[in-house]
Chains A and B, each alone.
Chain A
Amino acid sequence: MLKLPIYLDYSATTPVDPRVADKMIPYLVEKFGNPASRSHAFGWEVETAVEEAREEVAKLVNADAKEIVWTSGATESNNLALKGAAQFYAGKGKHLVTVKTEHKAVLDTCRDLERLGFEVTYLDVQDNGLIDLEVFKAALRPDTILVSVMMVNNEIGVIQPIAEIGEICRAKGIIFHVDAAQATGKVVIDLATLKVDLMSFSAHKTYGPKGIGALYVRRKPRIRLTAQMHGGGHERGFRSGTLPTHQIVGMGEAFRLARVEMGAENERIRMLRDRLYKGLSDIDEVYVNGDMEQRVPHNLNISFAYVEGESLLMAVKDLAVSSGSACTSASLEPSYVLRALGREDELAHSSIRFTLGRFTTEEEVDYAVKLLHEKISRLRELSPLWEMVQEGVDLSTVQWAAH
């Protein structure tokens, strides 16, 4: 029996793996101590658990545990990395480089930094969503202190050339931050070889709980940050605030499972995603958004031409997916990521992001394929634009009457 709606929105968030939840719960009730309580066993025992979890996070990315700082999530990690580095190194320069397709947590933080007197270059991407390394190099200036490029894009799943960007930045002495929130458990991350200085992690994208994340801060060469959260001096002064033990234990276990199971799991998910793609690719006028090769196996972002966006979303109510539109209080904006790929607004609005995960089944994929076929046919039957296209009309030559 299929449970509806079928969850195909793993990039928005993932369910907490039952094994992770089991590991967390004892730290709510029995082992509830404050890890900063140095004067009794309630505190010591949970401090040990916190450090074990820290090791697990470090292990997944081949870093040292001392380089892992706990935060409340990747949004906070991104804020800490960008503001922390920009403020600390402001004496060296005030120029930052990032990409138009970054998550809001990076873009909005960059806007804040602009208000504080920093200058930010927002790079365009190619049609496939990937950065052009020549364009990137050309954007760097003598006063550039920080570059931020996400490893895996949340909307289209493309994987940026992090290794190459790292080499370029290191050679020029520019600090390199990577938002890896969508990358953990999906691609191999080796911080011993990648020349990355700061990296943001999220637990809830990798089958861990919400409300916990981490920031990798390189020690060799040593990266410094201006702290953003002041108080009791936790996390060696990087981030003050009582550590939420159960959430940390959850993130540690989630990252351990990712390390152990990633290889096999990704293959299974790749097969399912390819099955979904194959099932949909026989529908006319469908376009995949983003490079298919440099892409995580979980993501399929597709635009269905000549189908109105809102109707499409309503038609696929049985699927919990994400669309190419974002709600603002006044209007429905087309996705800025799809816009950056050169997609026109209509096509952006008519797109769906399917993101598969650990609990996705073949049955669910087949249901989705069948549903999409049904609904797209139906919606196109109703679409006057589709009728015109079928008759061979070139829509770009049509003069539309205003209403």
Chain B
Amino acid sequence: MFAPVYLDHNATTATDPVVVEAMLPYLSGLCGNASSRHEYGRAARRAIDEARSKVAAAVGAHASEVVFTSGGSEANNLLIKGAAACLKPGVLAVSAIEHPCVIRPAEQLRKRGWTLHKLAVDAAGRVDVASFQAVIAEQPRIVSVMLANNETGVVQDVASLATQAGAAGAWFHTDAVQAVGKIAVDFRQLNAAGVNALSLSAHKIGGPKGAAALVLDKRLDIEPLIAGGGHERGLRSGTENVAAIVGFGVACELAAARLADVAPRLLALRERLERGLFSLGATLFGQAAERLPNTLYFAFPDIDGETLVGHLDRAGYALASGSACSSANPEPSHVLRAMGVEAELARGALRVSLGAANSAAEMDGFLVTLRATVLRLQQLTAMAV
């Protein structure tokens, strides 16, 4: 029996050993509270400042635009609720395929008098242009469209959407949690095109869980979600998690440096898998759209995704059916529903998300196992009919 093959990098990634090395001192002797005035505190403060610069550099932002949070979910909650709190209630638009940590906060705002529009996507999972323009015509105050979707990997033309939204006077946010480390993300460029806020998270890029950031255009006022002590320029109170922030900084640095090598390699692996999937008769979701180089979302007709994923886990391959955050939820994916995929097929959805450590041999091994498992399950289904 060989070691299990991890194919679920969009759910989370292993912390890079270089990142762990950088964190360890802060989990022992360098223990200071960054708000303390003595040397222990000052050392912690310096470490945070350095990490902030690294995070900023990796996404083309200024250090002063980086607000540290405990996670991507929190960064998205902070932006949606925080920006809304500084504006008079009006129209809020989020894409229909956003992560629940954007959609749920947006839905909460209805209670405060906001009108929520969910932007339709086409069959390939891209924001539908006509639908978008219709919503823009209603002068939304806040628009949020993710840079890359966690399930399909579909990449949106956020710059173009933001330009249109900006022309209509809207603040624009993009959840870049899945995009950073897989495609180039440049906040300066995006900001020039009208993106005012961007979220990213450490544990998707070889950093530790527990650290993330909201990159925020200084012109956009937001109210903090967490009060008490005024940390992060008053935007996020609470003793800073120095070790995780340090890890986040190093992870960003590594992700940016490795992107040029890693992305093409991932793409080659993805395409290898895609060829195999097609020959097995799988439907690939979002195929027509530009997608992250590491993500494949597919289904086999008549095969339940949960069942297949269970078999594959027992065979030593870890992947996801639906996204991690809602894998306890029996409803089919809201992303696929928004793409017009019918429930039957959507229930078969499986996601493979590759990482730098995956190899061509693993792809081939996976395809062999997948083929055998699919055929067996199809036979069982045929027998049951």
Q: Footprint of B on A, CB under 8 Å?
A: 5, 7, 9, 12-16, 18, 21, 24-25, 28-30, 32-34, 36-43, 72-73, 75-76, 78-79, 103-109, 111-112, 204, 209-212, 228-234, 240-247, 313, 317, 319-323, 327
Contacts and interface: CB of A to CB of B under 8 A. Distances in A.
A112 to B, nearest CB: 5
A327 B319 contact: no
Contacts of B41: 12, 320
B238 A232 contact: no
B108 A230 contact: yes
Contacts of B226: 75-76, 79
A229 B73 CA distance: 8
A79 B105 contact: no
Interface string B74-92: 1011000000000000000
A258 B150 CA distance: 40
A104 B241 contact: no
B209 A240 contact: no
Contacts of A103: 228
14 contacts: A15-B28, A28-B20, A30-B14, A39-B8, A41-B4, A72-B70, A75-B237, A76-B238, A108-B227, A210-B244, A228-B225, A231-B325, A233-B328, A241-B70
B367 interface: no
Contact of A39 (B229, B242, B310): B310
A105 B318 contact: no
Nearest to A20: B27
Interface centre among B6, B319, B327 (most CB of A within 10 A): B327
Interface in B103-146: 104-105, 107-108
A37 B7 CA distance: 12
Which 6 A-B residue pairings sit nearest by Cβ, starting from the closest? A211-B241, A105-B228, A231-B101, A232-B325, A72-B70, A40-B318
Contacts of B35: 12
Nearest to A15: B31
Contact of A232 (B17, B70, B73): B73
Nearest to A42: B318
B100 interface: yes
A320 B27 contact: no
Given A15-B29, A40-B313, A247-B209, A321 B38 contact: yes
A182 to B, nearest CB: 13
A183 to B, nearest CB: 16
Interface in B300-332: 306, 309-310, 313, 317-321, 324-329
Given A9-B38, A230-B108, A244-B208, A34 B324 contact: yes
Interface of B: 4, 6, 8, 11-15, 17, 20, 23-24, 27-29, 31-33, 35-41, 70-74, 76-77, 99-101, 104-105, 107-108, 203, 208-211, 225-230, 237-244, 306, 309-310, 313, 317-321, 324-329
A375 to B, nearest CB: 15
B73 A75 contact: no
Contacts of B12: 32-34, 37, 242
A33 B203 CA distance: 10
A230 B104 contact: yes
Nearest to B227: A108
B210 A244 contact: yes
A5 B39 contact: yes
A234 B319 CA distance: 20
Contacts of B210: 72, 211-212, 244, 246-247
Given A72-B241, A231-B104, A232-B100, 17 more contacts: A12-B41, A33-B12, A36-B328, A37-B324, A72-B74, A75-B226, A76-B70, A103-B228, A104-B227, A106-B228, A107-B228, A108-B227, A210-B240, A230-B108, A231-B76, A241-B72, A244-B210
B313 A41 contact: yes
A328 to B, nearest CB: 9
A162 B228 CA distance: 22
A208 B345 CA distance: 46
B318 A41 contact: yes
Nearest to A319: B38
A24 B105 CA distance: 32
Nearest to B4: A41
A38 B310 CA distance: 9
Given A12-B41, A242-B203, A211 B70 contact: yes
A323 B35 CA distance: 12
A51 to B, nearest CB: 14
B71 to A, nearest CB: 5
Contact of B238 (A16, A72, A230, A244): A72
B105 A230 contact: yes
Nearest to A33: B12
A211 B26 CA distance: 12
Contact of A29 (B15, B108, B228): B15
Contacts of B6: 42
Nearest to B211: A211
A240 B210 CA distance: 13
A131 B41 CA distance: 32
A320 B39 contact: yes
A243 B100 CA distance: 15
Given A39-B313, A39-B321, A103-B228, A21 B15 contact: no
B229 A12 contact: no
B327 to A, nearest CB: 4
Contacts of A12: 32-33, 35-36, 41
Nearest to B17: A29
A100 to B, nearest CB: 15
Interface centre among A30, A36, A231 (most CB of B within 10 A): A231
Given A13-B33, A32-B15, A321-B38, A39 B320 contact: yes
A156 to B, nearest CB: 17
Contacts of B29: 15
Contacts of B310: 39
B9 to A, nearest CB: 10
A126 to B, nearest CB: 25
A240 B39 contact: no
B40 A75 contact: no
Interface centre among A15, A105, A232 (most CB of B within 10 A): A232
A155 B76 CA distance: 34
Nearest to A229: B77
Given A104-B229, A242-B325, A229 B74 contact: yes
Contact of A16 (B17, B28, B240): B28
A18 B24 CA distance: 11
A241 B74 contact: yes
A317 B42 CA distance: 13
B350 to A, nearest CB: 9
A247 B242 CA distance: 12
A209 B37 contact: no
A240 B37 contact: no
Given A32-B14, A36-B327, A240 B28 contact: no
